[in-house]
Structure 1
């Protein structure tokens, strides 16, 4: 079984510090993921369809309209006969967090139901013809030292009045990544994954792909101009010079690997990193 929990924050610093504390703790939740919520009304009422509030009276008085809020989603796995022990462990963990107390919601589901939660959402969207639409997603890796500045600009200005889908925001430890791969990540030990999971269900206006792509461009341009150390995850660049900038000091290592394992540049031509037969004969 899984105890599935959601809470809200209004203070960004508390939200990020609590997440960092949880990912560093020896005993923590089994799943930790943060979200940014912009200009959403009736958030807690929407949660009531699947979750129950810890304090129904306090929850009924919470107002979310016109605010930037931060949601922390947590789970604790347990066997059905160990409910009391699980609840004690969860209570201790929650006591260390600084969320808005009236926004504590939870539910118990099977492990399979939790793993399949996105499919449940998919079925609802398919019923509304909102699943098979363009999804111009943007995934960024932001150094811990820059996340506050990033949030102020992006959530406080660029996306202040409009966003087209879920926004993920949570910290990860650099030490957990395999440094033998070619993935490019920020230099700091803790950095944040920020995922803009946009949908474009209409041909014009705020729901169009043009609008979503414009917002993505504004976010990337800010990161580059402010030089905050951002790296794109699953990046899409169109020139080799852009790729060199992306890889930075790791470019030469990446180029050597390409020459060794794919000297004719046959693989992945669509990424436009290496034109065919453009590699030097020896590296």
Structure 2
């Protein structure tokens, strides 16, 4: 059913009109842009709803290269977290940047709707949803091609809706690749740049938001703006790590560097956390060390090898690995990678690797290694995804928790959390690795702890059925809350990555002294509070509000 036929269907179906009317009534909120402590469907209403048939007709009659649908919105009503069902009123499938701008301007001037840009839908707690608003399917935005420029500063120009895996495949054809990654590549450029984009290369190159030369943005006012470090720099820095609050990323210019052919992939084990963290910090302080440094925690697991196979890591000496037993002890795995090219002498690469490993204090019998292609390593999580999909264990709730923890508090955190609060990680991995603050651009909207080194700790469980040996969703959510409560009670200055908060106090605490700047920029670039309602930071203002020309009003 196309857009026109869906409109005729709605005109014939009074129940559909009633549903749309109720949706619009519930979506109306106070008449100025406000902080929202928890904008749910029960939010008090003091804006008169627009006529639902008028909104439906006006959106459907816009002169677009793409199209808008008002039916079959199920896929845009949930995300990877799989905990919320929040259906939008409509979905825009843009075929040009002009489509995005046109819809944004129209919504801002004639309706009280909100808008969410949706990439691959990998948010965790409804951040990419627009309950009773309009979702923009960014993957529909066509790319004029992945355009690669080779030179002193090589870069690639891509659509904001392009997947990182596609960028990798194309840039590798020229011997280049982006420098910084996420662990999972089947995400859109706009999605990761709106957060940060962190993986094991971040200690060396910073997150993905530090490796961007230029952006094209559609602001909350519908303006199309090109920005960079030197041109419209405030918007540029606001959008990077800005949680989608200031604009929609429609194009990006990403820094490139030489791409290796192969990687030497190594894992070693520790039983002592202080030795483990000390070695991680040692490696990220060296100029010529490994190219990737991460780590993870193994709690109450015995069969280490089978767990590794699910993540594509198959040690060359698999017999030795299969014989190693943890006996239920908590272990810490240091995971490192050394890039090399096939024409390089393998002995030289091995010598460099052996020298680096000789400086570490891991359990001597637990050195496991493998050699794979560069793309196999970077796309390793997708391989695990396919295995989980085959077992029906992918489309389950994912109550993930990502924290940034100051170096000065990591020992205390590990002792309490890994030896008390979390008693098993059968449900999914727990990642832990340090990064250098000096490699992160402090002008972006991303909030990090105020120390030279801080750790990413990511709890990545899946609420699989108990029959599969897992824990239910409520158990995992309670466990997350215990971790958060401990951090707050211990006054650790922990920051959430991919943040989710329920109250205004928590959002203010998260941003700290940068809150006022964040709020002022929100008012400047999205004065009606149209964008990214799923983040639950700001309320939508009335299109006709007389106060939108004033500084943002806080609750």
Classify the TM-score, shorter chain. over 0.9
For the residue of structure 1 that corresponds to 2:343, the secondary structure is helix
Match for residue 43 of structure 1?
304
1:275 equivalent among 518, 521, 539: 539
- Given that 1:202 and 1:208 are in contact with CA atoms closer than 8 Å, whether structure 2 keeps it comes out as yes
Match for residue 25 of structure 1?
286
- Given that 1:32 and 1:74 are in contact with CA atoms closer than 8 Å, whether structure 2 keeps it comes out as yes
Match for residue 223 of structure 1?
487
- Given that 2:269 and 2:366 are in contact with CA atoms closer than 8 Å, whether structure 1 keeps it comes out as yes
Match for residue 249 of structure 1?
513
Deviation at 1:224, TM superposition (A): 0.7
Distance 1:161 1:66, change over 3 A: same
Structure exhibiting the larger radius of gyration computed from Cα positions: 2
Match for residue 104 of structure 1?
367
For the residue of structure 2 that corresponds to 1:13, the secondary structure is helix
Unpaired stretches in structure 1, ≥5 consecutive residues: none
Match for residue 267 of structure 2?
6
Q: 2:317 & 2:365 partners in 1: Cα distance?
A: 8
Q: 1:147 & 1:128 partners in 2: Cα distance?
A: 36
Distance 1:279 1:97, change over 3 A: farther
TM-score scaled by structure 2?
A: 0.48
- Given that 2:431 and 2:456 are in contact with CA atoms closer than 8 Å, whether structure 1 keeps it comes out as yes
The count of residues paired between Structure 1 and Structure 2 equals 281
For the residue of structure 2 that corresponds to 1:80, the secondary structure is coil
Q: 1:10 & 1:280 partners in 2: Cα distance?
A: 59
| Aligned-residue RMSD, C-alpha | 2.2
1:146 equivalent among 390, 409, 413: 409
- Given that 2:464 and 2:470 are in contact with CA atoms closer than 8 Å, whether structure 1 keeps it comes out as no
For the residue of structure 1 that corresponds to 2:267, the secondary structure is strand
Deviation at 1:176, TM superposition (A): 1.3
For the residue of structure 2 that corresponds to 1:282, the secondary structure is coil
For the residue of structure 2 that corresponds to 1:35, the secondary structure is strand
For the residue of structure 1 that corresponds to 2:333, the secondary structure is strand
TM-score scaled by structure 1?
A: 0.92
For the residue of structure 2 that corresponds to 1:251, the secondary structure is helix
Unpaired stretches in structure 2, ≥5 consecutive residues: 1-261, 542-546
In the alignment, structure 1 residue 157 sits paired with structure 2 residue 426:
no
Which structure: greater helix fraction?
Answer: 1
Give per-residue Cα distances to partners, 1:94-113, cap 9 Å, x unaligned.
Answer: 00011111110111111111
Deviation at 1:87, TM superposition (A): 0.4
Distance 1:127 1:92, change over 3 A: same
Give per-residue Cα distances to partners, 1:36-91, cap 9 Å, x unaligned.
Answer: 1100102146558711239x66x576430211100011111112232111001001
Match for residue 388 of structure 2?
125
